[in-house]
Amino acid sequence: MTKAIEKDSQQFYSRLTKVLSRIHQAKNFSDAYPLVEKTLLALFNAQRITVYQRNRLSKDIVSRFKTGDDLTEIRVPITASSIAGYVALSKNAVSIADVRDSAELTKIHPSLSFNDSFEKQIEFTSKSMLVLPILYNDVLLGVLQIINRKDGKSFSAVDLKRGKQFAELLGQKFRYDFGCTEGPYEYLIEQGWLDENTFKQLQEKSDSRTPLSRLLRDHAKITNSQLGQSLECFYQVPFVAYNPEKYFLHPLCEKVNKAYLKNSNLVLLSNQSDDAVIVLIDDPNDSKRILEINNVIGNHESQVCVGMLDDIHQYLGYSAGVQSDGANLNSLLDELEDGQELDIQETSEDYDEVSEEDSTVVKLVNRILLDAKRLRASDIHVEPGKGSTSTAVRMRIDGVCQEIIQIPATHSKATISRIKIMSRLDIAEKRLPQDGKFAVRLQGQPLEVRVATIPTVNGEGVVMRLLQSGEPVSFEQLNFSKRNYDGVTELLQHPHGIMLVVGPTGSGKTTTLHALLATLNTPERKIWTAEDPVEITQPGLQQVQIQPKTGFTFSAALRAFLRADPDVILIGEMRDQETAHSAVEASLTGHLVLSTLHTNSAPETITRLLDLGIDPISFSDALLGVLAQRLVRTLCPSCKKTYLASADEIALLQRRYGEHSAELNLGEKVKLYKAVGCEECNHTGYRGRTGIHELLISTPAMREKIYQGATVSEIRAQAEVDGMRSLMQDGIEKVLKGDIDFEQLRRVTAE
């Protein structure tokens, strides 16, 4: 059997070599195609082959070469609505058993469908397809479509592999037919407009905040027209420069977070002479970004174009290197004295003249902190740039990073030193990471901040975490589903045992734990907590700050608590075997123990703790339940809009929910909600976050699984039998409830 496969493979490559030889001997592919068509059909045992090519100035791909004379030409838009269009858009090869099977197409992409209008005019019916992108240097040049195996079977994995190899070699031929260059700026060198040594020097000095295109214009005197021609030759799409008289923001931009567009280096434009959406992007080869924005474009006709980063930002209302949002911060930046014109060879060592005690620097840091509090940011990231490049300040708002301002290089070091002074860190130590914290009151607002500095190749980076000090949220505000609400309520009634709240960093575990403690915090209960740091305080709790440097660890605190007559113990995190073992022992001796763990799901938590070396029998007896959670951006209540779900969307929800989808009670008309954007949510469509949860309850059957050392999949299967619903399922219930949309749910779940 193996010898037969090897012989077949050798025969294939022998015939393929002959085909390729004919292709390369021809002046162009048009001359070669008639000679190779029959051979290709035989190689893939197929009925038909269609080769689409991309026209640089067109919005679609066109069938230049195909089997049969039924139709002179087929034009397919580069969108996810058709098979060839999706392959062109995503640059992913697909093998489809039945093009009329909507379920199979939806698995590839929710918008995908088969257009049989072409076949109604001819005597041919498509069934199986092998569709592959024709690429060179990751640039789309066309699409190869192989239709129907003659034996009626589906195309195999071997066919797919061979098809990819042929498409790759075909791309090399198309490269010469299209006049493609090897890089975005190679055409400049070929035309003699740019010296190669100068190009290499400028390329070394470029970075994410000082793009190469800007350096070429400013220091090599390359014109916009020359840059445009070079980018077109490489990317094979039209170039669009900044021309506000001809191009303007498309209304669809209002549905997208402006910061997302800026960070993604793309913008949606309209042209007065055309209704199509122009997707202007700095790298048309990035199919991931293009697929993401295609979800916003939907059924609108669109065309991908290449633009320079500065021009894209200018369409969005930003000038080069300066953020236009945050008027308060920019008014302070205006106070910074104008520096001299900087030469690109200067380094960051030239900017030590500004003091950290300078009044403008002090005001700037205070304003950053105030605006972070006002914008409900959880973190502030101060990221130094290379050399003369500005320092970026980004804030994580509702879980998403947004750039707020750029601090000029002249004041970058002084700003970072000011933060270190406030945190009582060593400002002279710049080679090692440091941790600190500070508490301030700005305009009557108390603010507690944890600070971490990390040396980078461009200087010290700073991350400031704004601690959520104050009262705990109520149990009802956790937004549990009825199933999880009842389950957690029942678990909290147990006098002893372990309950864990798990999830990644920043998933709201501490908030949830304190909401649970608030329900247990009664005069008849003695509650001790060990936390690092103590973020939320409650009257009636005895709260302890962990100090690892002095040896006061979680395990040490837990041992001390057991001598202090507790009823309920909260351990901030079970980081090691000693802490986990002590927590199990505490729960078995009559205490209710609450703690957290960094795991991705409830079933994984059990195997993770067993891997730490905990005795399975003791742990299974102690465990009450595991609550896994994620935080998801919620739709802005002021502007979210209802709409009737399509049949495809309903099918998608049912498929993702799984075998219990009947619980959703979906009828023919299902009302969903989508983001719009208003002043309240800063035109993002989202405001605040809520939790999605999965609750694993320890039942007798589950304890038996733990005894036996079951795998994660076995534990998950048993938990589902016991009534657990996954994060995805809980999220879908909140989608139908109108709290979130499905797009945000997919960002935090891996299912």
Instruction: Return the pLDDT at 446.
Output: 66
Query: Out of 1-10, 118-127, 588-597, which region has the weakest mean confidence (pLDDT)?
Result: 1-10
What number is the average pLDDT over the span 399-426?
87
Whether residue 521 contacts residue 542, with contact meaning beta carbons closer than 8 Å, is answered with no
Confidence class for position 337, pLDDT limits 50, 70, 90: very low
**DSSP secondary structure string, 238-298?**
-B----TTTEEE-GGGGGS-HHHHHHHTEEEEEETTEEEEEEEES-TT-HHHHHHHHHHHT
**Sign, CA torsion 424/349/369/692:** negative
> Which range scores top for mean pLDDT: 242-256, 264-278, 509-523?
509-523
Whether residue 77 contacts residue 59, with contact meaning beta carbons closer than 8 Å, is answered with yes
Angle 355-361-367 (CA atoms, 0-180°, nearest 5)? Answer: 165
Whether residue 437 contacts residue 448, with contact meaning beta carbons closer than 8 Å, is answered with yes
Residues 688-747 have pLDDT tens digits of 889 999 999 999 999 999 988 889 999 999 999 999 999 999 999 999 989 998 888 877
Confidence class for position 344, pLDDT limits 50, 70, 90: very low
Q: What span, in angstroms and rounded, lies between the C-alpha atoms of 579 and 555?
A: 5
Name, in order, each residue with C-beta under 8 angstroms of 592's C-beta and a sequence gap of 6 or more. Answer: 492, 494, 495, 496, 497, 499, 520, 567, 568, 569
What number is the average pLDDT over the span 660-665?
81
> Which range scores top for mean pLDDT: 50-64, 216-230, 411-425?
411-425
Angle 688-689-695 (CA atoms, 0-180°, nearest 5)? Answer: 160
Query: Is it the case that residue 25 has pLDDT exceeding 50?
Result: yes
Question: Which one is predicted more confidently, 341 or 17?
Answer: 17
Query: Is it the case that residue 343 has pLDDT exceeding 50?
Result: no
What number is the average pLDDT over the span 263-280?
83
Query: Is it the case that residue 340 has pLDDT exceeding 90?
Result: no
The letter for the amino acid at 198 is T
Instruction: Return the pLDDT at 141.
Output: 87
Query: Is it the case that residue 469 has pLDDT exceeding 80?
Result: no
Kindly state the helix (H) or strand (E) to which residue 391 belongs, with its residue range.
strand 391-397
For 728, list phi and psi in degrees, rounded to 5.
-60, -45
Predicted TM-score (pTM) of this structure: 0.52
Question: Which one is predicted more confidently, 115 or 6?
Answer: 115
Query: Is it the case that residue 410 has pLDDT exceeding 70?
Result: yes
Instruction: Return the pLDDT at 451.
Output: 92
Instruction: Return the pLDDT at 603.
Output: 92
Residues 378-401 have pLDDT tens digits of 899 999 988 778 888 999 888 888
Helix 2-25 to helix 29-43 angle (10° resolution) is 170
Average pLDDT for the chain: 82
3-state SS assignment for residue 446: strand
Residues 616-631 have pLDDT tens digits of 888 889 999 999 999 9
Query: Out of 65-79, 190-204, 466-480, which region has the weakest mean confidence (pLDDT)?
Result: 65-79
Angle 99-104-107 (CA atoms, 0-180°, nearest 5)? Answer: 130
Please list the alpha-helical segments (H only) found in 597-726: 602-611, 616-622, 647-657, 700-707, 712-721
